Amino acid sequence: MSGDVTMRRSADIALLSSYPPPYGGAATHVQRLMPRLSAHRIRFTVYNAVSSSDCPPTVTSVARWRRLWLLSYLFRGHEPVVYVFSDRLAVWVGAALLAVFRGKRVIIRLRNAKLQKWLERSRWRGRIAGWALRRATGVVCVSRALADSAKSAGVDPERIVELPGFLPPDYVAGDRTGVSPSVFEFIDAHDPVIAANGKVDWFDGQDLYGFDHLLELAARLKPKHPRVGIVVCFWDHKPADEARLSELRRLARAAGVGDHILFHTEPGLFVPVLAQADVFVRPTNTDGDANSVREALYMGIPAVASDVVERPPGTILFRCRDSDDLVAKVEQALESTPDAAIDSSQSMKHSTDSKLNAYMDFLVSIIAESNRDS
């Protein structure tokens, strides 16, 4: 980290988030945002409420005592701007209290469908969430659907900023560091290679990341592609999830594809794996914006994703929970020309540069407002 970033005592902004590992979307976003903040001479500190990671020095883990820490921060937090990446309602309320009673500039990031679910299914959660969001200086939404949800919660449209969560990776072609060698042994032994990511999770009683779809995909591609391999990188895995994972492995063996699908649960980077793939697949049954879809397109990897949310241009869509359509679209991606991937990559890079400039201008403006008022 650059030397102009000072200790958190004099930071301009606090990021209430997570930090890798595990390599989830928000954690990766924060990791990539940090050098950009430094480049704009913005002093920051990251309060990691998810894991024990506390390196580099600008990251402080508060995961073991996060509830007590949040309560303490309401009274003792000193950063004038607070940027909330959490999707926990209690954290939103805490941020709103910081804005109301301590005059802090507060930014809340919407990155998944939780607000939509609260507004539709839980009257009291929806009301509390709306109250908290209306107190924020800015609400960053990673998709148009989430921006619409914020508006329906009563947030002033002028306070809503629609900006995808994707930030470009700092990746050198061929770099395999940060990933277990066993993953690349699997990749080198299979062709074509399909990459996916996620964790054991459920939404409305269905496999959130579509792991069941991936098993069927491997089985249906195998006759035409006998060496096909699907590598699934987990961004988080807990002992309680092992039973489901064991069942998935059993089902894979029963379908004759036990050696064709790798569930990789060790913490590690996803980008080096993605770079070696022929296709990226995102068979989720709900989503925010999905940084990994944009990551694939940015790197020139064809991306096949469910149609549950608006996807970036260049994505090959399939009907959610429709295995036939998924198989057809993956076959389409495997047969696509390199020119199509190059065009999608150039389009994504142009769009990303524009959004990144707008993002940094947004953060700089809020910090400048805070400095004028101090």
Same fold, 8-168+352-373 and 181-348: yes
Pick the CATH number of 181-348 from 3.30.70.20, 1.10.287.610, 3.40.50.2000, 3.90.550.10: 3.40.50.2000
Identify the band that residue 2 occupies on the pLDDT scale cut at 50, 70 and 90: very low
The percent of residues in the chain predicted with pLDDT above 90, rounded, is: 79
Report DSSP letters for 89-144, one per residue. HHHHHHHHHHHHHH--EEEEEE-STHHHHHHHH-HHHHHHHHHHHHT-SEEEESSH
Give yes or no for residue 107 having a pLDDT over 90: yes
The percent of residues in the chain predicted with pLDDT above 70, rounded, is: 97
Count how many Cα atoms sit within 13 Å of the Cα of residue 41 in the half-sphere of its side chain. Answer: 1
Give yes or no for residue 253 having a pLDDT over 60: yes
CATH superfamily of 8-168+352-373: Glycogen Phosphorylase B; (3.40.50.2000)
Q: Where are the domains of the chain?
A: 8-168+352-373, 181-348
Give yes or no for residue 149 having a pLDDT over 90: yes
pTM here is: 0.87
Summarize pLDDT for 155-187 with one digit per residue, the tens.
999 999 999 889 998 887 888 888 999 999 999
